[in-house]
């Protein structure tokens, strides 16, 4: 007799995830049992890969497919990282301009010569003060050497 398993899942959230996934893809599977076997197979492959450090490759086609899938995942990660980096740079530039403007406006208030709103809105006070620009350049040099 062939070895069989009966599985009980008590985690309600996991049961809902499995049920929702089956509803989305029930067209691909003849039975729910076939779907659950596919889930277990993928899970076992993932565990083997994660715990053993590599997927057991049966033939060259599987190797090429695994390389292709890994390259796609890496490309997706690179694209997401680039998007995040661009957003962070944009936020930093806006924050730097805003802080420079605030700094310059505070200097104007301390001199009893508040800055005019039109000048502030025109960006006349957005430049980083010279001493802070020098500090900024030194920090960039320090980190670019590493």
- What residues does each domain of the chain span? 1-55
pLDDT (tens digit, 0 to 9) for every residue of the chain, 146 residues total? Answer: 688 888 899 999 999 999 999 999 888 888 999 999 999 999 888 888 777 766 566 788 888 888 898 899 899 999 899 888 888 888 888 888 888 888 877 777 777 766 677 777 788 777 777 888 888 888 888 877 65
Q: Where are the alpha helices (DSSP H) in 26-59?
A: 32-52
Tokens representing 26 are 């029930």
For 14-40, b where at least 16 C-beta lie within 10 A, e where not — what string? eeeebeeeeeeeeeeeeeeeebeeeee
Contact 125, 100 (CB under 8 A): yes
Q: How do residues 30-41 score in pLDDT, each as one tens digit?
A: 899 999 999 999
């Amino acid at each position: 007799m062939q070895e069989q398993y009966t599985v009980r899942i008590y985690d309600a959230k996991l049961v809902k995830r499995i049920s929702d996934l089956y509803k989305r893809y029930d067209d691909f599977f003849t039975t729910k049992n076939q779907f659950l076997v596919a889930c277990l197979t993928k899970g076992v492959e993932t565990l083997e890969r994660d715990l053993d450090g590599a997927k057991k490759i049966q033939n060259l086609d599987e190797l090429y497919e695994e390389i292709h899938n890994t390259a796609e995942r890496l490309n997706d990660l690179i694209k997401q990282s680039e998007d995040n980096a661009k957003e962070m740079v944009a936020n930093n530039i806006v924050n730097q301009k805003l802080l420079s403007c605030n700094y310059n406006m505070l200097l104007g208030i301390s001199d009893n010569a508040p800055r005019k709103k039109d000048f502030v809105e025109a960006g006349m006070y957005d430049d980083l003060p010279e001493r802070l620009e020098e500090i900024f350049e030194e920090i960039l040099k320090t980190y670019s050497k590493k």
